[in-house]
Amino acid sequence: MFVQPSARLLRTRAFSTSAARRTTSVTLKALGLDAYNLGVYNGAWGGNGTIVESVNPATGEVIGAVQQANLSDLNQTLDNASQAAKIWRSVPAPKRGEIVRQMRNALFAKIEPLGKLVALEMGKILPEGIGEVQEYIDIADYAVGLSRMLNGQVVPSERAGHMMMEVWNPVGVVGVISAFNFPVAVYGWNSAISMVCGNSVVWKGAPTTALTSVAVTKILAEVLETNNLPGAICSLASGGAEIGNAIAHDKRVNLVSFTGSTNTGRKVALAVQARFGKSLLELGGNNAIIVHNDADIDLAVRSVLFAAVGTAGQRCTTTRRLFLHADIHDTFIERLIKAYEQIKIGNPLESGILCGPLHTKQSVRAFEQGVEDVKAQGGKILHGGNALHHLVGNFVEPTITSIAHDAPVVHREIFAPILHTIKYDDISEAVAWNNEVGQGLSSSLFTTSPEKMFNWIGPEGSDCGI
């Protein structure tokens, strides 16, 4: 007897563990990785800390293991990076750019397997995984050009026969602490620019994406070693909070770049500031889109869909709040729900999948708690709202809610595909609501009015940086 499958099952796809194992094996081999890997590089590979297993969030299977750094490993790595910085800073900037160009080419040669590893380990769909590696390649291209433009200014002096000259010098050692959701690109943005500026880099990636950190470092290390340069220019100290905390407190790290949660970022900033170091923070985002009554609805629906669902809602720039003008609210919601109904959830390596798994079981629990909080705070679930426990991995349904703009759950960043929709009558009201959360990062306005566009980007518009 034929039984009609549910709509949810039609929109979700699992994949065989045997196929996943074959894909994993081929991918690791292409990147020079094994089932067990050393996670410390400072000119030589090592590691004496705990062993962390990397788990495929779509299957729950172990991909491989990495031996992390302990504090002694980190201490040696920082010593080596400090010495390497003294050599690297004396290399002319255009020649530093040439090394970054070679790294760019080496990354491009591995873009497919490295993008596939990102999909396997982080869980984002394959086009996003490959696209993330491309982001590193793109910033490397930019850095190569920048290496020939690190010029300062000549400033007139008020004293006769004198002038003032501005010269930019390296800071020394840059520590990069990156998050799981962009395990390649965030490091790339930091390291490519840091390197052409003459700094060595010490990287601590997320423990849950340690294989990707090792794979990237292997690619960079080969370029450095081929050019007879100290490998410690691109050092790696895999580890958890203990290693990150030590980097934040260590005076040998002249600048700490941290990407992650607001709570942890606050701790990093205070630790670095206490020793008068420099910090660069990219933290949470509770991002909004405003769709006004004169907007192109087709364009807005497509944009909102990917902005809210891409990377399974695990981007710092994921859209989490949607403000809809009353005139178009009902129509827009109807069309958005229809679009959500077409989303395919499942194996991030499979063509046609738009939403892969959340990264961890903890993320699934945070999603479920968020849904419960919406209901408890007077909101409604318009679409989705369920964790897909019938699938092996960490899958959830992309979810649309209807809730008040000032509900506590709306003001909390939930790193999952939950989109809160709010109706407004006047655009000044929507702009104020856009600005009222404490995690402004990115925001968008859909309108055909030039006046509203320029107001939006002006001092009375969005307070977000993007």
Kindly state the tokens that stand for 51. Answer: 């062993």
C-alpha dihedral sign at 287, 292, 297, 299: negative
**What is d(CA 302, CA 78) in angstroms, rounded to the nearest whole number?**
47
Residue at token pair 């709306």: 410
Kindly state the tokens that stand for 72. Answer: 């002694």
Neighbours of 333 (CB within 10 A): 18
**What is d(CA 447, CA 452) in angstroms, rounded to the nearest whole number?**
7
Residue 372 gets the label, from left (phi > 0), alpha (psi -120 to 50) or beta, of: alpha
Kindly state the helix (H) or strand (E) to which residue 428 belongs, with its residue range. helix 427-435
| Rg, the chain, Cα only | 24
Do 394 and 368 form a contact (C-beta atoms < 8 A)?
no
CA 401 to chain centre: 25
What are the distances in angstroms from CA 325 to CA 204, 319, 430? 44, 17, 9
Q: Does the annotation count 372 as an active-site position? A: no
Do 228 and 149 form a contact (C-beta atoms < 8 A)?
no
Q: Does the annotation count 397 as an active-site position? A: no
What letter represents residue 239's amino acid? G
Kindly state the tokens that stand for 452. Answer: 């509203």
Virtual CA dihedral for 305, 308, 311, 314, nearest 10 degrees? 180
What letter represents residue 154's amino acid? V
Do 424 and 326 form a contact (C-beta atoms < 8 A)?
yes
Neighbours of 51 (CB within 10 A): 13
Which of the residues 316, 355, 397, 413 is marked catalytic? 316
Which of the residues 282, 397, 413, 464 is marked catalytic? 282
Residues forming the active site:
282, 316
